[in-house]
Structure formats: C-alpha cells, structure tokens
C-alpha cells in the first residue's frame, strides 16, 4: 500500500481557533435567497442552493469581520472597474 504520510499535518502547522457555536446564527437554518448575480443557477436547484448559501456566509463574514468603510471602498472600486487593469 502507498505511503500516506503526506496526509499528516506538519507538526508546526497552526490550527485555527474553534468558531463559536453561533457563528452562523439562526440564519443557518433558513434557505437564503439566491442573489441576482447567480440567477443563471436557478435551473439547477442544488447548484442554486449551494451558491445561495455561499453568498449568505460571505455576506455574514463581510458584516462581522470587515469595517463598513472597507466594504464601501471595495464596492466603489468594483463598480468603477471597466474590466481592464
């Protein structure tokens, strides 16, 4: 059998801290709405659900971890971007 040592974490690898039990809050038990950006996924309910949940988690991370000023600045830059560098 092939040597599977590569599956073992490095001894000096930092393990991230445990997230609090309420990290996702009550919202994690409701099916989030699919953002308009992902409307193309509506034809496949499993894919649409996955993208809706992803967007919901990313929105929560944005709200909880980043200052509103940073989010506003990033949005401004994205909206002003013309698709070139």
Q: At a CB cut-off of 8 Å and minimum separation 6, what does 25 contact?
A: 60
pLDDT (tens digit, 9 = 90+) per residue, 42-85? 999 999 999 999 998 888 888 888 888 998 999 899 899 988 87
Counting Cα atoms < 13 Å in the Cβ hemisphere of 18 gives: 3
Q: At a CB cut-off of 8 Å and minimum separation 6, what does 42 contact?
A: 34, 48
pTM above 0.85, yes or no: no
pLDDT (tens digit, 9 = 90+) per residue, 2-22? 666 666 666 676 666 676 666
């Amino acid at each position: 059998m092939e040597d599977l040592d590569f599956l073992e974490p490095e001894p000096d690898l930092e393990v991230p801290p445990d997230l609090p039990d309420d990290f996702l809050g009550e919202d994690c038990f409701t099916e989030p709405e699919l953002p308009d950006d992902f409307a193309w996924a509506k034809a496949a309910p499993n894919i649409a659900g996955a993208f809706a949940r992803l967007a919901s988690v990313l929105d929560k991370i944005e709200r909880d971890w980043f200052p509103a000023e940073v989010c506003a600045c990033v949005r401004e830059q994205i909206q002003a971007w013309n698709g070139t560098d």
